[in-house]
């Protein structure tokens, strides 16, 4: 069941997202003793992360049972201005009492092949899955590019059809840069998928992805459909401008 939630401004949306994340975290920890949370990169989620790292929300979470992962990463050092890890670290990681061993960044310094192997292993080890079984994260936060990409799943790229991998490193033609990204089947195996979409520049992509004709090669976020889970599209009024919300 896909749920479309629209709030006037990003701040209200962040509170809605934080509530969903908290509820799923509490349920997962009660049920399985762990909450595996995949973070999005880019600019949109920054204020949400700052909210998670400040009172009164910060102390609501049982950080010792929460494991953080990244849905994608740029091929840059962890302290580079473009690093998604660095963005998250500055936005809230430095402010929450999460054990360092619960933070599973993509170790770009190892080089693409070894970084992919190491990340795959850290995911499997955390979840206790082996072999061909796909890991099942509890919640993934995703952004949406104005070209319809999500994570680093860009239009017309071969990675959209890579179904045998959990995480891949690939050269993104549109930006001429290498990126690391979770694959479509890995994302779709997640229990709860949250898109956080803000700004008028995202309105067309949001319409195409959520209500437009099927064209996943052109609008890759259309491929994101939970195999056995829930999907939320959280949009501010500007990003929802072209949606039929009747």
**Which string of DSSP letters, residue by residue, matches 128-143?**
T--TTPPP--SEEEE-
Q: Does an H or E element contain 115, and which?
A: helix 112-127
Interface region with ligand 6PG, contact rule CB under 6 A, candidates 20-28, 149-157, 186-194, 205-213: 149-157
Binding status of residue 143 toward ligand 6PG by CB under 6 A: yes
- List the one residue from 22, 29, 42, 242 that touches ligand 6PG (CB under 6 A): 42
By CB under 6 A, residue 148 contacts ligand 6PG: no
Question: Interface with ligand 6PG by CB under 6 A: which range of 6-14, 148-156, 169-177, 212-220?
Answer: 148-156
Is 20 or 88 the residue whose CB approaches ligand 6PG more closely? 88
Strand 167-172 versus strand 230-236 pairing type = unpaired
Span from 7-15, 91-99, 145-153, 232-240 in contact with ligand 6PG (CB under 6 A): 145-153
Rounded CA-CA distance 97/16 in Å is 23
145 binds ligand 6PG per the rule CB under 6 A: yes
Site for ligand 6PG in 172-191 (CB under 6 A): none
> CB of 104 within 8 A of CB of 67?
yes
Of 53 and 143, which has the nearer Cβ to ligand 6PG?
Answer: 143
The rounded distance, in Å, linking the Cα atoms of 37 and 4 is 21
Helix (H) or strand (E) holding 167: strand 167-172
Strands across the sheet containing 139-142: 2-7, 230-236, 192-197, 139-142, 35-39, 66-70
Phi, psi of 111 (to 5 degrees): 90, 155
| The one among 75, 84, 183, 208 contacting ligand 6PG by CB under 6 A | 84
Q: Which of 41, 135, 216, 229 binds ligand 6PG (CB under 6 A)?
A: 41
Q: By CB under 6 A, how many residues form the interface with ligand 6PG?
A: 14
> Starting at the edge strand that comes first in sequence, how are the strands of the sheet with 72-74 ordered?
72-74, 177-182, 167-172
Please identify which residue in 7, 72, 138, 238 interacts with ligand 6PG, judged by CB under 6 A. 72
User: Cα(141)–Cα(124) distance, rounded to whole angstroms?
Assistant: 19
Instruction: Tell the smallest beta-carbon distance from residue 159 to ligand 6PG (Å).
Output: 13
Scanning 25-33, 61-69, 144-152, 224-232 for contacts with ligand 6PG by CB under 6 A, the matching segment is 144-152
What would the two tokens of residue 35 be?
């909450």
Please report how close the Cβ of residue 105 comes to ligand 6PG at its closest, in angstroms. Answer: 13
Question: Interface with ligand 6PG by CB under 6 A: which residues?
Answer: 40-44, 71-72, 84, 143-145, 149-151
């Amino acid at each position: 069941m896909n749920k479309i939630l629209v709030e006037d401004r990003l701040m209200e949306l962040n509170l809605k997202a934080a509530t969903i994340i908290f509820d799923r975290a509490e349920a997962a920890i009660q049920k399985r003793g762990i909450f595996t949370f995949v973070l999005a990169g880019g600019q949109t989620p920054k204020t949400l992360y700052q909210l998670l790292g400040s009172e009164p929300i910060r102390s609501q979470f049982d950080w010792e049972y929460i494991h953080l992962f990244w849905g994608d990463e740029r091929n840059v050092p962890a302290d580079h201005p473009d690093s998604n890890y660095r963005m998250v670290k500055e936005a809230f990681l430095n402010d929450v009492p999460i054990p360092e061993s619960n933070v599973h960044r993509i170790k770009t310094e190892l080089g693409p092949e070894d970084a992919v192997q190491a990340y795959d292993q850290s995911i499997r080890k955390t979840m206790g899955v082996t072999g061909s079984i796909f890991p099942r994260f509890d919640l993934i936060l995703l952004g949406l590019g104005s070209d319809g990409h999500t994570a680093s799943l860009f239009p017309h790229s071969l990675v959209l059809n890579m179904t045998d991998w959990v995480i891949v490193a690939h050269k993104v033609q549109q930006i001429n840069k290498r990126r690391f990204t979770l694959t479509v089947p890995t994302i779709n195996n997640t229990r709860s998928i949250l898109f956080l979409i803000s700004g008028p520049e995202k309105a067309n992509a949001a319409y195409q992805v959520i209500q437009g004709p099927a064209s996943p090669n052109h609008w890759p976020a259309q491929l994101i459909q939970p195999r056995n889970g829930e999907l939320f599209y959280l949009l501010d009024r500007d990003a929802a401008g072209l949606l039929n919300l009747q």
